[in-house]
Amino acid sequence: MKTGSINIYFEEDKTPSIKLTLVNGNLWLTQNELARFFGVFVQKISGVLRSTFRKGLLYEPECTFCNRYMDKGIEKQAIFYNLDVLIFLSFHIESLQADVFREFLKSALHTHLQKQKMEEMKIVWYLPKPTEYWLN
């Protein structure tokens, strides 16, 4: 499974930079990779995700992928989280890396809006059909 990658580069006397590689328009990371990216412990990521899914802020089946594989005859699994989770976590974690990523997001959105060269832009989000999890 191709997952994509994301890295933050800190150089002396320069603004931090982010290199983001998407696969089919998405990025998939494990909890360990998310923790390493944000510079926090895995328990922090796990706790925020558990709370997020329990509150229904993100719908777990839509933003996770379970990769099952065999290792030395033993079936194992790895759970991957998509770009939506990465963005969500960046606003719920306090770390230098989260700050840098939030600035990257704001800059990317600003650049995108400038390229549109529209004086007035209407942004519309189409929500998927209401499902049972919305009614809880």
pLDDT digit string, tens, across residues 32-44 = 999 999 999 999 9
Q: Which of 66, 64, 63 is nearest to 128 (CA)?
A: 63
Lowest mean per-residue pLDDT among 5-19, 74-88, 92-106: 5-19
Tell me the two tokens of residue 115.
Answer: 């390229």
Torsion 8-13-15-20 (CA) sign: negative
CA distance 119 to 104: 24
What is the mean pLDDT of the segment spanning 5-24?
86
- 1, 57 in Cβ contact below 8 A? no
Q: How confident is the model at residue 28 (pLDDT cuts 50, 70, 90)?
A: very high
d(CA 56, CA 122): 27
**pTM assigned to the model:** 0.78
